[in-house]
Chain A
Amino acid sequence: MNVRAPLVWSAAGLLAAALLPWYALEDGLASGDWLSGLWSSKDYASGVAQAIEHGRWWLAPALLVLVACLVVSFAPLAQRRRGALLVATSCIGLVLFGAQAFAIGLRGWSAGWLVSLFGEMDGQQIGIGAGGALVLVTFLALLSIGLALRGAFGGDTFVAGAVTTVAASILLFTAWPILHILVQAFQNADGAFRPQLMIERLAEAKIWSLRCLIGRGGCGVAWNTLFLALCCGAGSTALGLAFALVATRTAFRFKRTLRVLTVLPIITPPFVIGLALILVFGRSGLVNHFLEWTLAIPPTRWIYGFPGVLLAQLFAFTPVAFLVLIGVVEGVSPTFEEASQTLRADRWATFTTVSLPLMLPGLANAFLVGFIESIADFGNPIVLGGDFGVLSTEIYFAVVGAQLDYGRAAALALLLLALALGAFWLQRRLVGRRSYATISGKGDSGLPTPLPDAARRAAQWIALPWAAFTLLLYAFTFAGGLVKVWGRDYTPTLAHYVKAFSIERSAEGLIWSGAAWNSFWTTVKLAAIAAPLTAALGLVTAWLVVRQRFVGRATLEFATMLSFAVPGTVIGVAYVFAFNVPPFEITGTALIIVLCFVFRNMPVGVRAGMAAMSQIDGSLDEASATLRAGAPQTLFYVVMPLLRPAVVGALVYGFVRAVTTVSAVVFLVTAEYDLATTYIILRVINGDYGLAIAYSCALIALMLAAILLIQFLVGDRRLGRRSMLQQRGRT
């Protein structure tokens, strides 16, 4: 271990530098054309060949450092000394690598001040390919090995590697693109640095006006956003808790149906709920027609604005709160509740003083997620907002609207980020550093106490009507795909499905002639790749943040939230800004879409994982460590099995969000990689609702199937608790 790991990595890095093309290839690695040109071709050459043969001398220093790393791995050294040297060399390597990659771009020096410093240069380089990327990974691996050898992270290479991987990927794929665009808040249109512009942009009355309080006009977008998010966070948490309680702590008979139902909105492409709400509550909607017909109440337009947006957001985000909360509610150990009852507390006192406080981390996380989802939500405010503007729509139109003002968009995005961070900070203060661990290694922990009657009734009275309402809305939507023109001509037809998903039989086999197949398969493929990555990265991050002690832990936790709090449009533009130029030139590929999915949706995995993990007693980890299991064994054989609900949640969320996200990928899709949502949105813009709804229904079916598959593959968590049924059988 002392010698082997660094040796293997340095050797691998050198091999990559010598035998793989350094730069990105136009036709990909798979074709194999590059093999013959590895030394001679300017495009295909490896890093070593580029440095020696093709005049790209700037690659040489980093490659020499790689050799130095190999020497350090070989040399007879004490462990700590080897570690220190590895850290030093790999850091130098990273700096040299980064310096050349960022300083020299498509047309020589990439920044004006470099030109004025060194004069013009004729060298140029494109984005890195397999060779360059592997060398970069090698440096990171050597850095983490070196840190572990020096005794950091408890001397555990796995933890060191995980921290480096997570930190480096978040830095590269979240922090860097976002900073890239946020900097523009301080720049004028020509890119000059003008900090006072930022203050001007943020001091506008349009953002901060409070006139709505005195009944004169609308309030500023910042207040609108904040108020909406508070209501949405509180509302979705309450609804989510009600659902979670009904699903786990009552004898309600249709729990499975309920679970599917609560998940429905989350797997619905964003605008569908908004449109369904308009058709039910709009001025010409069902409800208004009915009221006018029976009670002669003239139709109103209340759905447009705050009430409508809030309603739609509650629909959309209650399931997220539910997913965060269900693991937590399940996880509250009955032992404590039984102890409370032994101490003569009645069920109500037990519920309010023991169970609820133990759910606090979950509640706080659910609120945080609801709050942040609400401020980052774009689809619902755009459909139902009317006059009511929020930051996300304002930002969107600052980017794509008549103003085209990236500076203003960036300033508003900063404000949005500040709101999200405020909520994040508050949540940490609220939950604090108290212990919520209730899953420990001790055997049987008793039966979950039934809910007190009042709480049960409240939970059911909140959850069931809401569920019925959801059902109604979906029945209505589903019907929309089966009629000629939704909201107008209700002649039944299958034409929309045929247009989207027809398959023809011919001599050469099946022809997928439907208009939607292309984007459908791309979506399935990319989402299936992104989901496990999202879940793994999210849960490992959660594990690191909750279970490991290292410098910069809080920063890491904070950084994961970044991409979540920034609206999709900003992320999309940020990705184009950051990844359209060397060294990481990946626009137009499927990779950038997958990365966008992963890093945008990872935070929910992190939140769910953290909430669930804070319930698992650390003594389990310690017991595992005492039995000489390393960190990876503990993670995979002890923690993960106890986290199954969180694993399911993260996988499901990763997949579902990848399928339903719109605003972030609008700038990333190409003709080759078109996605279902962008296709649907175009149909909606076209007014072709039938096809859009038919496609959405197909997506919903797909996602339901995926959820069942994930549930089946991951399985339930077995907590060594007797179930209600067994109990009933016994009495």
Chain B
Amino acid sequence: MKIGLPLAATLAITTGFCTTSASAQGVVNVYCSVQVEWCTLAANEFQKATGIKVSMTQKGSGETIAQLKAEAQNPKGDVWFGGTGDPHLQAAEDGLTEPYKSPHLAELHRWAVKQNSDSGGRTVGIYAGALGFGYNTELLAKKGTKPPACWADLLKPEFKGEVQVANPNSSGTAYVEIATLVQLWGEDKAFDYLKKLHANINAYTRSGTAPIKAVARGETGVSISFIHDGVTEALVGFPVKVTTPCEGTGYEIGSMSIVKGARHMADAKKFYDWALTPEAQKLGAQAKQFQVPSNKATPVPPEAPKFADIKLIDYDQAKYGKSAERKRLIARWDSEIGNLPKP
């Protein structure tokens, strides 16, 4: 049959139309934006505790919010677990997530609860990680340079061409850095500092975790990164150490949200509640992730950077998480620093 041939392929494809994603009972679809070990561990433990199957897809927080936006008309995910707070706040602002008050809210640290109230109940903090410096001990020792201890140290001439930081156009980490400096010193002074710092920067990388990886592999001396990412590299065996600046520093709030219009709303809420308990939150450390858990009762492992030892600023997540403010600050960075010629 002549006519059959060319359409055979199409036919083959059409038969595929008859299956769409399974949504049997007792399943919750989780978009997970923390490290993959943590994701798997959380999925398994939740399943053990409740019998509800977790279908876990691991994606970066930027990719997840892009996916939520694309799927907004017909959501496929139920819970978005982890990832830095700004995209969660953005999702809340765009109405992509569902307000929910968990009964566990009272057990959480103040910053985690504030994240919830700032977002109209649409997201909650599950961990926090402070911004700081990562440095390659071998490289600095070879050059005979003292590790940086303060923001001001980074301006020293011996760090010329040794500092790496991400580009705020693409990286949430870099944006937290700018917002921190602005809250620390006021906007004009912060941008003055960034201009001076520019002389010591060797690259504004596109990805937020690229600088700490460059530090680990000896490609740059110092990076501005979240310190728990540095701890992860050090545990693998790289000569990395982390410090936090003496003037004070900002932090991210790793968050969790329920997707608006989730197909398994009841199970999604069960997962949400469970993820705020100490039993669930200690899994991060088990997976070698050392952020500070948001439930006060969660045991903190000795390797984890102690928030008590860090001079934290009162980071205004609500103000600096708004997309208008972010756009404005990034535009200013673009015109004043991004445009500067390479030193």
Q: Tell me if B202 and A301 are in contact (CB < 8 A).
A: yes
Q: Tell me if B17 and A591 are in contact (CB < 8 A).
A: yes
Q: How large is the interface on B (under 10, 10 to 19, 20 to 34, 35 or more residues)?
A: 35 or more
Q: Tell me if B341 and A216 are in contact (CB < 8 A).
A: yes
Tell me how far the C-beta of A181 lies from the nearest C-beta in chain B, rounded to whole angstroms.
9
CA distance A688 to B36 in the complex (A): 11
Q: Tell me if B342 and A284 are in contact (CB < 8 A).
A: no
A504 sits at the interface (CB 8 A): no
Q: Tell me if A161 and B19 are in contact (CB < 8 A).
A: no
Q: Tell me if A211 and B341 are in contact (CB < 8 A).
A: yes
Which residues of chain A are near B218, meaning CB under 8 Å? 282-284
Contact A387 B203, CB 8 Å, known A484-B237, A577-B70, A666-B63 = yes
Tell me how far the C-beta of A62 lies from the nearest C-beta in chain B, rounded to whole angstroms.
16
Q: Tell me if B87 and A404 are in contact (CB < 8 A).
A: yes
The stretch of B51-59, B116-124, B264-272, B307-315 that contacts the partner chain: B51-59
Q: Tell me if A580 and B3 are in contact (CB < 8 A).
A: no
Q: Tell me if A128 and B339 are in contact (CB < 8 A).
A: no
Kindly identify which residue among A25, A218, A385 contacts B206, using a CB–CB cutoff of 8 Å.
A385
Contact A206 B334, CB 8 Å, known A9-B3, A591-B19, A682-B36 = yes
Q: Tell me if B18 and A21 are in contact (CB < 8 A).
A: yes
B49 sits at the interface (CB 8 A): no
Q: Tell me if B326 and A402 are in contact (CB < 8 A).
A: yes
Q: Tell me if A162 and B55 are in contact (CB < 8 A).
A: no
Which residues of chain B are near A385, meaning CB under 8 Å? 206
CA distance A585 to B73 in the complex (A): 12
Q: Tell me if A26 and B22 are in contact (CB < 8 A).
A: yes
| A163-215 with Cβ < 8 A to chain B | 164-165, 168-169, 205-206, 211, 215
Which residues of chain A are near B228, meaning CB under 8 Å? none
Q: Tell me if B233 and A687 are in contact (CB < 8 A).
A: yes
Which residues of chain A are near B1, meaning CB under 8 Å? 5, 8
Q: Tell me if A133 and B21 are in contact (CB < 8 A).
A: no
Contact A589 B16, CB 8 Å, known A577-B70, A682-B58, A686-B35 = yes
CA distance A591 to B13 in the complex (A): 8
Kindly identify which residue among A218, A401, A587 contacts B62, using a CB–CB cutoff of 8 Å.
A401
Q: Tell me if B169 and A278 are in contact (CB < 8 A).
A: no
Q: Tell me if A485 and B62 are in contact (CB < 8 A).
A: no
Tell me how far the C-beta of B260 lies from the nearest C-beta in chain A, rounded to whole angstroms.
14
B340 sits at the interface (CB 8 A): yes
A272 sits at the interface (CB 8 A): no
Which residues of chain A are near B204, meaning CB under 8 Å? 387
A137 sits at the interface (CB 8 A): yes
B141 sits at the interface (CB 8 A): no
Q: Tell me if B342 and A587 are in contact (CB < 8 A).
A: no
| A482-514 with Cβ < 8 A to chain B | 484-485, 487-489
Q: Tell me if A401 and B170 are in contact (CB < 8 A).
A: yes
Q: Tell me if B15 and A589 are in contact (CB < 8 A).
A: no
Which residues of chain B are near A386, meaning CB under 8 Å? 202-203, 205
Which residues of chain B are near A485, meaning CB under 8 Å? 236-238
Tell me how far the C-beta of A215 lies from the nearest C-beta in chain B, rounded to whole angstroms.
7
A399 sits at the interface (CB 8 A): yes
Which residues of chain A are near B340, meaning CB under 8 Å? 217
The stretch of B4-12, B187-195, B242-250, B292-300 that contacts the partner chain: B4-12
**Can you list 26 pairs linking A and B with CB atoms under 8 Å apart?**
A8-B1, A129-B17, A137-B14, A141-B7, A165-B10, A282-B218, A301-B202, A304-B219, A404-B69, A484-B237, A488-B217, A573-B70, A580-B74, A586-B17, A587-B21, A589-B16, A591-B19, A594-B16, A667-B67, A670-B55, A672-B21, A686-B35, A686-B36, A686-B232, A687-B213, A687-B216
